[in-house]
Structure 1
Amino acid sequence: MKKYIAEMIGTMVLVLMGCGSAVIAGGAAEAVGSGVGTLGVAIAFGLSVVAMAYAIGGISGCHINPAITLGVLLAGRIKANEAVLYMLFQVIGALLGSFILLSISSGMGLSGYGANSFAEGNLIPAFIAETVFTFIFVLVVLGATSKKSPEGFGGLAIGLTLVLIHIVCIPITGTSVNPARSIGPALVGGGIALTQLWLFIVAPFIGAAISAIVWKYFESNEKAVK
C-alpha cells in the first residue's frame, strides 16, 4: 500500500506545484508585472518531478503519471493489477492537488485551475503535440530508469526533459503528457477543460504505448547482439 500512497502524494505535489505556478505565480503575478512566465511554469513542473523522484522514487518508482505507468507496464516492468492501482491513486492525488490549489487560489480571488485546453480549430495540432511529447517523455523515463543508465541521475534527466517539453507545449495545450494531471484540474474546473479532457487522456496513452514499443525494440536489438 505504501507505493500507492506514495504515488498519490507525488501526483498531488506535481499538480499543486506545477499548476499552482501557472495559476498563482503566472496568472496573479503577471497581472502586476512579476509573473514567472512560460519558462517559470516549465521549471516548476520539472522541479516537482525531480523533487518527487528523489523523495518517493525508492518507494514506488515515482511514476506520478498514468502514461508512464502504461509505458512501464507495456515494457514488462510492472504487473497489470499494480498498474491499475497506480493510475487510480495518481488520479486521486491529482484531485487532492487540484482541490488544495482551488482553496488557495479562491482565497486570492483567482478562478484558474491550471486545466489543459486547446483553442478552437487546433484539435489536430493539440493531439499531435500531446502524443509526440508524451512519447519523448516516456521514452526518456524508460531509458533513464533502465539497468544500464547511470545511477542517481534518472530523476534529474526526467525532470529536465519535462521542462523542455513544457517550454514548447505550453502555448499549444498548456502541456499535459499526463492524464492524471489533466483529470484533476478538469474535474474541479469543469467547462471547456472537461469537454476536451478526452484528448489529454487518449493522446498521452498513445504516445506512451509507442514509446514502450520503441524501447522494447531497442532492448531486443541489444539482446540479439549479445
Structure 2
Amino acid sequence: MNQHVPATTAPTGAGGPVPESTPAGPGTEGLVAPVPVAARKDSVPAGAPAGDSAPARWAAEFAGTALLVFAGLGTGMFATEVIDSALGFGLGLVAAIVAFGHVSGGHFNPAVTLAAVVAGRTPVRSAPGYLVAQVLGALAASGVLWAVLVTLLDSSTTAQVLGAVSNGFGENSTSQAGWTTVLLVEFVATALFALVVLGATAPRANAVLAPLAIGAALAFLLTIAAPFDGGSLNPARSTGAAVVSGGTHLGQLWLFWAAPLLGGLVAGLVHRAADFARPRRGGSAGESAGESAAGTDSGSSTAAAPTGAPTASEREG
C-alpha cells in the first residue's frame, strides 16, 4: 500500500535553469521559455545532468517556427477563406508547442520571446539565439512554399498569391486600412496574445491545457486582425512572407516588427507588475523555494505541479 507523498514540485519551463535540488524531468533544467512541462510522466533524481544545449533549443525554435509559418501561410495560399488561415496558424502553433516546446519552451515568435524576457521568465542572453532561429525558420517555410508555387503557377500569379498572405497596410490591406490603424490593431492583438501565453504557462495555470489555449488565442486574434493587415502578431512570420513576396511588402515590414514587439513589451511588463507568475499559496516547502526563485531576474523558476498532475508516487504506484 503506497504511503501518501506530498506533490513534488515540477518546473514550468517558464524560466531558466532549475536548481539541482528540484526534482525535474530530463531536459528541463535549462529550459528558458514560458511554455510549461505539463504533467510529466518521468522524473530524475536531484543533481541530474543539465538539459538541452543552446543549439538544440535554437533548432527547436527553428523547426517550430517553420511548422507554424508553413501551416498558416500554406492554408492561406490554398484555402479560400481568411478563417482557414487563422485556424492553420492556431493549429500549427499547437502542434509546434507539443512537438518542440519541451526542448526550447516553444516561443516561435520574437514578440513572445521579448515578453518572456521582460516578465523575468527568460534570460536576456537567450533572446538573440531564439530570434535568429525564429526568423530563419520562417524564411525556410516561406521559401518551401514559394518553391511549390513556382512549379504550379507563372511568376506573376505566384507573386499575387504570396502577396495575398503577406502583411501590409494601405494598398496592401484588404480594407485599405492606414498604418496607424494597423499599428494599433497589431499592438493590441499581440499584447493580448502574449498575455495569454504568459498566463497560460504560469505556475498556477493548468499546464496541460496551455497549448490549446495559446493556439486558440492566436486563431481568434488573427481572425480579428486579418481584415486589416492579413494578421501577423509575429515579426518572424511577417518577415518570411515579405521576403518571398517582395515588392511594397518589404517596405512596410518595419510596422510588423515595431507593433508586435511593443505589444510583447507591454504584456511582459503587465505580467511582471501583476505578479501573475507567483506559485500557489499553501503549497509545500518546495513551492516556497520556487516562489523565491521565480522572483529573481535570472529567469530561473520552479513551481507546483499543475492541478490534476500525478505525483511521483502515483505514477510509480
Question: TM-score with structure 2 length normalisation?
Answer: 0.65
The equivalent residue for 2:201 is: 145
2:127, 2:265 → 1: CA distance?
14
The equivalent residue for 1:213 is: 269
1:136, 1:71 → 2: CA distance?
11
1:48, 1:16 → 2: CA distance?
8
2:75 maps to 1:24: no
Q: Which structure has the greater CA radius of gyration?
A: 2
| CA deviation profile, 1:109-161 (whole Å, cap 9, x unmatched) | 14122211112461111000000000000000000111111121111000000
Question: TM-score with structure 1 length normalisation?
Answer: 0.91
* 3-state SS, counterpart of residue 152 of structure 1: helix
Deviation of 1:108 (Å)? 2.1
Match of 1:6 among 47, 50, 60: 60
Deviation of 1:205 (Å)? 0.4
2:184 maps to 1:184: no
* 3-state SS, counterpart of residue 108 of structure 2: coil
Gaps of 5+ in 2: 1-54, 172-176, 283-317
Deviation of 1:78 (Å)? 1.4
The equivalent residue for 1:99 is: 143
2:75, 2:152 → 1: CA distance?
14
The equivalent residue for 2:290 is: none
The equivalent residue for 2:131 is: 87
* 3-state SS, counterpart of residue 197 of structure 1: coil
1:108, 1:175 → 2: CA distance?
26
CA RMSD of superposed structures (Å): 1.8
| CA deviation profile, 1:180-217 (whole Å, cap 9, x unmatched) | 00111112221111010000000000000000111011
* 3-state SS, counterpart of residue 77 of structure 1: coil
Q: 1:144 to 1:64 in 2, by over 3 A?
A: same
Alignment of structure 1 residues 50-199 onto 2, 5 Å: 50-109=94-153, 110-111=157-158, 112-113=161-162, 114-120=165-171, 122-199=178-255
Q: How many residues align?
A: 215
Structure with the higher fraction of residues in helix conformation: 1
Letter of the 2:108 partner, please give it. Answer: I
Letter of the 1:163 partner, please give it. Answer: A
* 3-state SS, counterpart of residue 121 of structure 2: coil
Deviation of 1:104 (Å)? 1.1
Q: 1:108 to 1:55 in 2, by over 3 A?
A: same
Gaps of 5+ in 1: 26-34
| CA deviation profile, 1:15-59 (whole Å, cap 9, x unmatched) | 11101111122xxxxxxxxx2x12111111100001111111111
Letter of the 1:104 partner, please give it. Answer: V
**Alpha-carbon contact 1:24-1:105 (below 8 Å) kept:** no
**Alpha-carbon contact 2:203-2:278 (below 8 Å) kept:** no
Deviation of 1:167 (Å)? 1.1
2:220, 2:70 → 1: CA distance?
20
The equivalent residue for 2:85 is: 41
1:12, 1:190 → 2: CA distance?
19
Letter of the 1:117 partner, please give it. Answer: G
Query: What percentage of aligned pairs have identical amino acids?
Result: 37
Letter of the 2:73 partner, please give it. Answer: C
2:234, 2:240 → 1: CA distance?
11
